[in-house]
Structure 1
Amino acid sequence: MKNYRPISLLVVLISIFSFAATTYALISNQGQGGYEYRSIFGKRVDIYGKGLYQHDSISMATQAIAQDYVTLFLGIPLLIISLLLARKGLIRGRLLLTGTLGYFLYTYASYSFLSMYNSMFLVYIIIMSASFFAFTLSMMSFDIPSLPQLFKDALPVKFISGFLLVVSTVFGMMWLGKVVPPMMLHIVPDGLEHYTTLVIQALDLGFVVPVGFLAAILLFRRRPFGYLLAAVITLKDVTLLTALSAMVILQVSTGVQISLVLIGIVLLINIVFLYTMIVILKNVKEVSGTIK
C-alpha cells in the first residue's frame, strides 16, 4: 500500500483526538440546563444548555451526542482495525480504511462548520484536516486501471449502481425540497433554528449526492474509477447511516418530533447499505503481501 506510513500516523492522530473529543462530549455536564432562545430570524429555539453542546439546540445536541457514541464505539475501532488489515496488504482493509476516513472527514467537517463554538473547536479542525489528507493519500494509493481485476465477476454491478442512484436521488430531492421552497418564498427554512446556514445540506448537495451519482454511473459502465468510488462511498455511508439512525432514535427519545416515514426510510437505507457493503467485500479478490 502506497503512503502507508503517513496514513498510519494520520490515523493514529485521528483516533487519539476523536477519542478525546467524543469522550469529553459524552461525560461533560456543565451548564445551567435547557432554556429558550429567540434567534435572529425571530424563531423560538430550545437550547440544550449543558455539557459541550450547551449552546446548541436540543435537536442538534442530541444528534451530536448520538454521532459521538457511534464514532467512539464503531468509527474509531473500525479505523484501527481497517488500518491493521491494510497493513497486511488486504484490499478489503484498504477499501474499509478509505471509507472510514471518509466518514471522519464528513463528520468533523460538519462539526467544524455547524456546531456552536465550543472548547473542542481546534480539535475538530485537527481531525478534519488529518482526515482530509489521510483520505486523499488513501485514495491515491490505489492503482485505478487495475481495480476491475480486484473484484470477482459475480459482483452485482447493476444492483449496487441502482441502489446508489436511488439513494442519491432520494437525498437530493429531500434536501432540495427543504431548501428550494423557502428560497422562493423568501422565508427561513425549517430546522435552521439559531444557526447561520444549512451546513449538512451544503455538504450533501455539494459532495455526497454528486459522488453517489458519479459512482453509480461509472460502476454501471464498469469504468475502473467507478469500482473505487462505489466501494468507498458505500463503506463511508454504512457508518454515517448508522450514526444517522442513532440520531433519529435519540431525538425521538428526547421528544423531538420526527416523521415515522423518515425514520423508516433512514433505517431501511441503513440496512441496505450494510448489505451492499457485505456484498462488495465478499466479491473482492485478495492478493497476499504484508506491507514492510
Structure 2
Amino acid sequence: MSRALRRLPGLVAAVAAAAATVGLVWRPSGTPTSVTTPRGQEVQVAGDGLYRFDTVFTAANNTAVDAVVLAFGIPLTVRAWLQHRNGSPRGTLLLTGSLGYLLYVYATYALGVAYNPLYLAYVTLLSASLFGFVAAFSEVDRAALAAAAADPAVPHRTLSWFLLTSAAVTAVVWLQPLVTALRTGAAPELLDVYTTTVTYSLDLAVLTPAAALAGLMVRRRQPLGYLIAAPLLVTIVLLLPSISLATALQVAAGISFTPAQVIGPIAGFGVLGAVGARLLVRLLRAVPVSPLTPTAGAAGVHVHA
C-alpha cells in the first residue's frame, strides 16, 4: 500500500490536470444540435467541443467540474500527497478525502459522460483514484483517528447530525424524481439522451449509505466513522463551486431557470458547503501532523475506550 501511494496520487493529479485542461480549452462553441432520443424526446446536445454528444445542460456541468478539479481538487491532492510522504497522519487523512472526491468525479465521467476521445483517460483516472483511495484508506493512522474521536474540540454531535442529514436529503432529492417516473411510467427528468442517470446510482448506492454509516459511527465515537467522513466532507465542500459555476455556464448556454431553481440549490449547497468546510477543518486539526508515539497512540486509544 505504501508503494502504491508513492506514485498513484501523482499519476492521478497529472492525468486529471491534462483531462480537465482539455475539457476547459475544447469547449462547445454555443451552437447546439437538436436530436430525438429513443424515447421520442427532442433534446439539445452540445454539438461540438469535447462534450459534443452530451446535452447542453450536462456539457456545461462537466466544464464546471473540470474547472473545480483543476482549481481545487488537484492542488488539494498534491498537497495532501506531499504531507503523506512526510509521514503526516493528517496528510494521509486529507489524501483519502481528496482521492475520494476524484474517484467520485471520474467514476461519473467514465460511466456517465457520452463517449469522447478522453474515455481512456477517464478509465485510467477511475482505476488509479480507486486503488489510490483504497491504499490511502488503509494507511491512515488508526491511533491518530482514535485520538480525534476522543478530542473534545471536535464537534462530534454536529458532525454526526450533518452526515445523517446529508444522507437523508440526498435520498429524498434523488428518490423523488425516480418514484415519480415509476408512478407515471415516464423517464426521469433530465435523463435525455442517456440510458441511465449515473449520479443517481452513485449517490443512492454509495454516498447515501456511506454518509448514514459514518454519521452513526461518529455518534458512537468509532474512529472508522471519522475516516469515512473525510472524503464525504471534501466532496460536499467542492460541490458548492461546481454547482455555482455550472449554473452560470448553463444560463450562458441558453438554459432557462426560475429564480427558485437558481437560488435554492446554490443557497442550499452554500450552507452545506460552509458547514462541511468548518467540520472538515475541525476534524483535520484533531489529527496530528506528526505520527503519534507508541505511548501517545496508546493513550489516545485508552481515552477513546
The whole-number CA distance in structure 1 between the counterparts of 2:143 and 2:79 is 27
Task: Provide the C-alpha distance between the structure 1 equivalents of 2:27 and 2:147, rounded to a whole number of angstroms.
Answer: 52
Q: Distance in 2 between matches of 1:209 and 1:123?
A: 27
Tell me whether 1:274 sits opposite 2:251 in the alignment.
no
Q: CA deviation at 1:145?
A: 6.3
156-165 or 145-154: bigger deviation: 145-154
User: What is the identity, as a one-letter code, of the residue corresponding to 2:12?
Assistant: I
Q: Is the 8 A contact 1:148 1:227 kept in 2?
A: no
Residues 6-15 or 243-252, more deviating: 243-252
State how far apart, in whole Å, the 1-side matches of 2:243 and 2:27 are.
23
Match of 1:97 among 68, 92, 95: 95
1:170 aligns with 2:173: no
Q: Which residue of 2 aligns with 1:74?
A: 72
Residue 121 (structure 1) aligned to one of 115, 119, 122: 119
5 Å matches for 1:24-35? 24-29=22-27, 33-35=31-33
Residues 282/146 of structure 1: CA separation in 2 closer, same or farther (3 Å cut): closer
The runs of 5 or more residues in structure 1 that have no matched partner are none
2:47 paired residue number: 49
Distance verdict in 2 for CA 1:42–1:225, change over 3 Å: same
Any conservation in 1 of the 2:102–2:129 contact (CA below 8 Å)? yes
The answer (yes or no) to whether the contact 2:103–2:130 under 8 Å persists in 1 is yes
What are the equivalent positions in structure 2 for 1:64-213 lying under 5 Å apart?
64-144=62-142, 147-150=145-148, 152-213=151-212
Is the 1:53–1:118 Cα contact (8 Å) retained in structure 2? yes
Secondary structure of 1:92 counterpart:
helix
Paired residues of 2:88 and 2:288 also in contact (CA < 8 A): no
State the match for 2:288 in structure 1: 285
- Cα distance per residue 1:19-57 (max 9 Å; x no partner): 111111111257893121111111111111121001111
**What secondary structure, in the 3-state scheme, does the structure 1 residue paired with 2:80 have?**
helix
Deviation at 1:229, TM superposition (A): 1.2
Q: Quick one: which amino acid aligns to residue 209 of structure 1?
A: T
Please report how far the alpha carbon of residue 133 of structure 1 lies from its aligned counterpart in structure 2 after TM superposition: 0.4
The answer as to whether partners of 2:24 and 2:66 remain within 8 angstroms in 1 is yes
How far residue 271 of structure 1 moved from its aligned partner, in angstroms, is: 1.8
Whole-angstrom distance in 2 between the partners of 1:249 and 1:268: 19
Aligned length: 287
1:239 maps to: 238
Question: 1:168·1:209 contact (CA, 8 Å) conserved in 2?
Answer: yes
**For 2:268, which of 245, 265, 268 is the aligned residue?**
265
Quick one: percent identity of the two aligned structures? 33
Superposed CA RMSD = 1.9
The 3-state SS of whatever aligns with 1:257 is coil
SS at match of 1:285: coil
2:68–2:242 contact (8 Å) kept in structure 1: yes
Give the counterpart letter for 1:141 in structure 2.
Answer: E
Q: Bigger shift: 81-90 or 248-257?
A: 248-257
> What residue identity is the alignment partner of 1:11?
P
Report the CA distance shift for 1:250/1:266 in structure 2 as closer, same or farther (over 3 A).
farther
1:190 corresponds to which letter in structure 2? Answer: E
Shift of the alpha carbon at 1:263?
A: 2.6
Q: 2:168 is matched by which residue type in structure 1? A: T
Gaps of 5+ in 2: 293-305
Gap change, CA 1:220 and 1:149, over 3 Å in 2: same
State the 1:95 CA deviation. 1.1
What is the Cα deviation at residue 4 of structure 1?
3.0
Give the Cα separation in 2 of the matches to 1:185 and 1:223: 43
Q: Distance in 2 between matches of 1:146 and 1:13?
A: 27
Q: Tell me if 1:256 matches 2:255.
A: yes
Deviations 1:95-117 (A, max 9, x none): 11101000111101100111111
Classify 1:4/1:19 alpha carbon distance in 2 versus 1 (closer, same or farther; 3 Å): same
Q: Judge which range, 177-186 or 203-212, deviates more.
A: 177-186
Give secondary structure in 2 for the equivalent of 1:36.
Answer: strand
Q: Which region of structure 1 is more displaced relative to structure 2, 82-91 or 116-125?
A: 82-91
CA contact (8 A) 1:103 1:240 kept: no
Per the alignment, in what secondary structure is the counterpart of residue 193 of structure 1? Answer: coil
AA in 2 matched with 1:275: R
Question: Compared with structure 1, are the counterparts of its residues 154 and 182 closer, same or farther at alpha carbon in structure 2 (3 Å cutoff)?
Answer: same
TM-score (norm 1): 0.92
Distance 1:268 1:156, change over 3 A: same
Q: Distance in 2 between matches of 1:58 and 1:125?
A: 23
